[in-house]
Amino acid sequence: MPWGHKTVLLCGLAIYILSLVVGVEEIQRHDECADLNNTTWKEYRQQNDKLQVQYLLMTRRNMDCAHMFNQESLTQQASYFNISRPTKVIIHGYRALGSKPAWVKELGQALLRVQDVNVLVVDWVYGASFAYNLVVENYKEVAVQISVLINQLQEHGCKLDSFHFIGVSLGAHVAGFVGTLFEGKIARITGLDPAGPMFKGADTYDRLDPSDAQFVDAIHTDSDYFGISIPVGHVDFFLNGGKDQTGCARSRFASMYGYVICDHMRALHVYMSALNGSCPLIGIPCSSYEDFLKGNCLDCDVFKGRCPVIGLSENSRITVSPVPKEQKLFLLTTSSPPFCAHHILLVLEVSALDKSADVEVTLRTENLGTEHRFRIQADTTVYRTVLSHPAALCEIHSIELKNIGAFYRQGDVHVKSVCLSEIPSLRREQPLCVNNINIRRGARWSHDFVQVCGFF
Ligand SMILES: *[C@@H]1O[C@H](CO)[C@@H](O)[C@H](O)[C@H]1NC(C)=O
Ligand SMILES: *[C@@H]1O[C@H](CO)[C@@H](O)[C@H](O)[C@H]1NC(C)=O
Ligand SMILES: *[C@@H]1O[C@H](CO)[C@@H](O)[C@H](O)[C@H]1NC(C)=O
Ligand SMILES: *[C@@H]1O[C@H](CO)[C@@H](O)[C@H](O)[C@H]1NC(C)=O
C-alpha cells in the first residue's frame, strides 16, 4: 500500500527533503525588502514554543520588494496599503524545519498582475512547528491573531467582503477558522489542496467548509495523502481525480520530490498558472471521478452551460443561484504549465468478442500524441473513456488503433465505430467517427482526419 510506504518515509527522511525543496531561496534581496522569516529549528525552540506571526505587504507599487506590515503601518502615510482596494491574504501551510515557502512572491505577483489589490502574506510558525500534530492542535491561534488584524483593518474602513483568503494546505484551514470567527462574512476563501491528515473527519467548525465565506473554492491534488478527500467549498476542483498528478513520480526511487510533495504542491502551481491566464482550466460537475472518466458527465447544464473555472472570476464564474455547495468538479491536466488539457471523449464499439481484447489508441496533433491502453471484456461491446489531449478536437490530425492482445488470448478485433468528441459539449459539435475497421493482432491501423478549426 502506498500509504504505508509514505508514512514510514514521513517519519524522518521526507521531512528533511521537504524542507530542502520548500525552502529554496529567492536569490536576490534588497536590504529594505521584507521577507518571510527563515529561523532555524534551534532559534524557534528558544522562543519557547511561542507562535510567531508577522505580515508582509505587496502591492503593484512594490511587487518585487515586500514591506513589513502591522497595525501601525496603517497610520503611516508611507504605507502602500490602500483601504479602498480589496485585500488578498496568503496563508502558507506547515513549515517543516521552519524553512520558508519559496512560492509566496510568485503567487503575490501573479495576483497583482490580475487585480490591483493589497496582498498580505501571513508568515506564521510555531516554536514547535516540527511536529505536525502539535501544529494542527494550535493552528486556530494563528487564525485568532489574523482576526485581530482584520478587526483593526475594519476600524480603518476595510469591509469584510473585500477580503479574499488564499490558504495552502494547513493554511486553508487557518483561513477557514478566520472565516468562522467572522461568521462567513469574508468574501472568499480559496483552499489549495487543503490539508487532509487530521482534518477529514473533523467537524466543519474545525476545518474549511462552505459556511466560512460567501464563496469557498478549493483545488484538490493529493487527496490520498497530504490533501483532504472530501469537498470543503462551494466548488471543489479535483484535478486528475484529485489524488495523483501527471508528471509526479509514482516511485520514491525516481524522485524524492516527485514522490513526497509534488502532488500536494500541484494545486498551488495550477492556481498560479490559471492566474497567468494563458488558458482556461474548467471543471465539469460529476458525482465521481469514475463516472467522469466513463463519459457520464459531459456538460455544465446545471450551471446553465457555464463551466466553473479556476482563478479569480467571481464565484468561479457560476451565475446560478443559490450557489451549490460541495459541488465536485473534475478536470484532467497536462504535466507542466499551463496545465490545460482538452477533454476528448472516446467511444469505441466492437462486434461481439470471443475473448477480451487489449487495444491501444493514439491521438495525434503534429508532434503531440496521447496514448491510451485499455481492455474490452468479452461481455461488452462499447468502451467509453475521457482522455486528456493537449490540443482541441478540431486539431486532431490522426487516430491510430493497435490490437495489442497476446496471441493466445485474442484474435482480430472488428471495430464497428470509433468516435471522438470534445467535452464539455458546449457547441454541440458532431463527433468525429470512423466506421468498420478490422485490426489484426499486432497490427496498427491509422486514419487521418481532414478538418479545419474555427467554423463555428
Ligand atoms: C536562511 O537560513 C539558511 C540556513 O540557516 C541560511 O543559509 C540563509 O542565509 C538564510 N536566509 C535568509 C534570507 O536569512
Ligand atoms: C523576522 O525577522 C525580522 C528581521 O530579520 C525581525 O525583525 C522580526 O522580528 C522577525 N519576526 C519574527 C516573528 O520572528
Ligand atoms: C486607493 O485606491 C483607490 C481605488 O482604487 C484609488 O482611487 C486611489 O487613488 C488609491 N489611493 C492611493 C493613495 O493610491
Ligand atoms: C506566470 O507568469 C510569470 C511572468 O510572465 C512567469 O514568470 C511565471 O513563471 C508564470 N507562472 C506560471 C505558473 O505559469
Q: Is 151 helix (H, G, I), strand (E, B) or coil?
A: helix
pLDDT, tens only, 18-63: 333 333 333 333 347 888 876 655 565 565 567 788 999 999 999 9
CA torsion sign for 94, 98, 102, 108 is positive
Q: Is the pLDDT of residue 359 over 70?
A: yes
What residue spans of 285-350 are helical by DSSP H? 289-293
What is the rounded average pLDDT of the residues 4-12?
Answer: 44
Residue bearing the bigger pLDDT, 437 or 14: 437
Cα of 38 from ligand 1 centre, angstroms: 6
Residue 270 corresponds to which cell in the numbers above? 495550477
Indicate the top mutation candidate among 84, 158, 162 to test ligand 3's pocket, ranked by most ligand atoms within 8 A of CB: 84
For residue 22, what pLDDT is reported?
39
Which residues make beta-bridge pairs with 345?
386, 421
Q: Is the pLDDT of residue 281 over 50?
A: yes
What is the rounded average pLDDT of the residues 418-422?
Answer: 95
Cα of 24 from ligand 1 centre, angstroms: 10
For 141, phi then psi, to 5°, come to -65, -35
Q: Residue 351: which pLDDT band, with cuts at 50, 70 and 90?
A: very high
DSSP 195: B
Cα of 89 from ligand 3 centre, angstroms: 19
Which residues make beta-bridge pairs with 242?
none
Enumerate the active-site residues: 169, 193, 264
Is 38 near ligand 2, meaning CB less than 6 Å away?
A: no
Which range has the worst mean pLDDT, 33-42, 98-107, 195-204, 402-411?
A: 33-42
What is the rounded average pLDDT of the residues 327-348?
Answer: 96
pLDDT > 70 in the chain, percent: 84
Contact assessment for residue 121 and residue 171, using Cβ atoms and an 8 Å cutoff: no
User: Within 6 Å (CB) of ligand 3, which residues are found?
Assistant: 82, 84-85
Q: How does the average pLDDT of the chain come out, rounded?
A: 86
Indicate the top mutation candidate among 37, 124, 142 to test ligand 2's pocket, ranked by most ligand atoms within 8 A of CB: 37
> Which residue has the CA at smallest separation from atom 7 of ligand 4?
106
Spatial distance between the Cα atoms of 123 and 354, rounded to a whole number of angstroms:
64
Residue bearing the bigger pLDDT, 234 or 141: 234
Cα of 340 from ligand 4 centre, angstroms: 14
Q: Domains along the chain?
A: 2-331 (3.40.50.1820), 342-448 (2.60.60.20)
- Ligand positioned closest to the Cα atom of 26: 1
Q: Is the pLDDT of residue 109 over 90?
A: yes
Spatial distance between the Cα atoms of 260 and 242, rounded to a whole number of angstroms:
15
For residue 41, what pLDDT is reported?
53
Contact assessment for residue 389 and residue 341, using Cβ atoms and an 8 Å cutoff: yes
For 342, phi then psi, to 5°, come to -95, 140
What is the rounded average pLDDT of the residues 120-149?
Answer: 81
Cα of 36 from ligand 2 centre, angstroms: 8
Indicate the top mutation candidate among 32, 49, 54 to test ligand 2's pocket, ranked by most ligand atoms within 8 A of CB: 54
Highest mean pLDDT among 7-16, 48-57, 245-254: 48-57
Residue bearing the bigger pLDDT, 77 or 24: 77
Q: Is the pLDDT of residue 413 over 50?
A: yes
For residue 26, what pLDDT is reported?
33
Q: Residue 383: which pLDDT band, with cuts at 50, 70 and 90?
A: very high
> Which residue has the CA at smallest separation from atom 11 of ligand 3?
82
Pick out the residues of the known binding site for Ca(2+): 207, 209, 212
> Which residue has the CA at smallest separation from atom 12 of ligand 2?
52
What is the rounded average pLDDT of the residues 106-124?
Answer: 96
For 292, phi then psi, to 5°, come to -60, -50
- Ligand positioned closest to the Cα atom of 86: 3
Pick out the residues of the known binding site: 207, 209, 212
Q: What is the pTM of this model?
A: 0.88
For residue 25, what pLDDT is reported?
33
Which range has the worst mean pLDDT, 75-79, 147-151, 223-227, 290-294?
A: 75-79
What is the rounded average pLDDT of the residues 274-278?
Answer: 93
55: number of Cβ within 10 Å? 21
> Which residue has the CA at smallest separation from atom 11 of ligand 1?
38
Spatial distance between the Cα atoms of 434 and 450, rounded to a whole number of angstroms:
12
Residue bearing the bigger pLDDT, 159 or 8: 159
What kind and span of H or E run contains 272? helix 263-276
Is 52 near ligand 2, meaning CB less than 6 Å away?
A: yes
For residue 268, what pLDDT is reported?
96
Q: Is 226 helix (H, G, I), strand (E, B) or coil?
A: coil
pLDDT > 90 in the chain, percent: 64
Contact assessment for residue 218 and residue 231, using Cβ atoms and an 8 Å cutoff: yes
For residue 436, what pLDDT is reported?
94
